[in-house]
Amino acid sequence: MALSSSFFILSFFFLCFAIIESKRTPHCISSIINEQLYNSFFLHKDNNACPGKDFYTYDSFIEASKCFPKFGNTGSLDTRKLEIAAFLAQISHETTGGWATAPDGPYAWGLCFKEEVSPGSNYCDAENKKWPCVPGKSYFGRGPIQLSWNYNYGLAGSELGFDGLNNPEIVSNNSVIAFKTAIWFWMTEQKPKPSCHNVMVGRYVPKKNDLKVNNRTAGFGLTTNIINGGLECGIPNDGRVNDRIGYFKRYAALFNIATGPNLDCENQKPF
């Protein structure tokens, strides 16, 4: 009887310890997207025609994600999958090398480019004194989210531990840092914009007039508004928006989940 009691107490202790550890340790997103699935998302990222060949590795993505414990780790399993699908869809559009008749379809060519093609300017906001431009440096789009403008490079560098103003090139030279900038942008609220993360995990809290006046309904379309709404939202049947949606639908299908409503932002006012 004493042995049975001791065994029961010991078993109970280990059960409690396991529960505490499961709550303390966040799930790694590698449990949701392994390397094989990741490569099936990006069938042609390492094509010889892609300037980003061999840059956007699975290991770099996973390593970068460890800096953001809530990314892909918030809510139910389907919610976690939905957020990862949305994130990967958005960075796929930003870096796409696909075209309408591309092999395996246009939505199999994400993560092809690591730098903006033929940038129209050096993306220097000279009025921003907090993050002043460095002479001779250009802050055009780089990395998975195509990080742009001196104020984004400066802030991202400050929070992630690199010199974004003096060395913006690192975003297209270091794949872990590149992914970190993309996830940082995704996770960070930049008022009046909410974070893309909060939108996709159901924690978007609309501000005054967001819904009734500006029609900023929660869903994938709102993340497009956050990322590039000034150029793409409020426009019927915009091709860029449709491209983002195409990637999202494909990735959601690979995860075997529904996309949810409000995929576009054609009726939303930009932030």
3-class SS of residue 193: strand
Cα-to-chain-centroid distance, residue 13 = 40
182/52 Cα distance (integer angstroms):
15
- Return d(Cα 213, Cα 235) in angstroms, integer: 16
* Residue among 117, 100, 118 at smallest CA distance from 52: 117
Query: Active-site residue among 94, 127, 159, 169?
Result: 94
C-alpha distance from residue 14 to each of 10, 23, 25 (Å): 6, 14, 16
Look up residue 5 and give its two tokens: 């009691």
Nearest to 110 by CA among 200, 42, 21: 42
Report the C-alpha gap between 222 and 192 in whole angstroms: 13
Cα angle value 58/62/145 (rounded, 5°): 80
Q: Please indicate whether residue 94 is annotated as part of the active site.
A: yes
Which residues form the catalytic set? 94
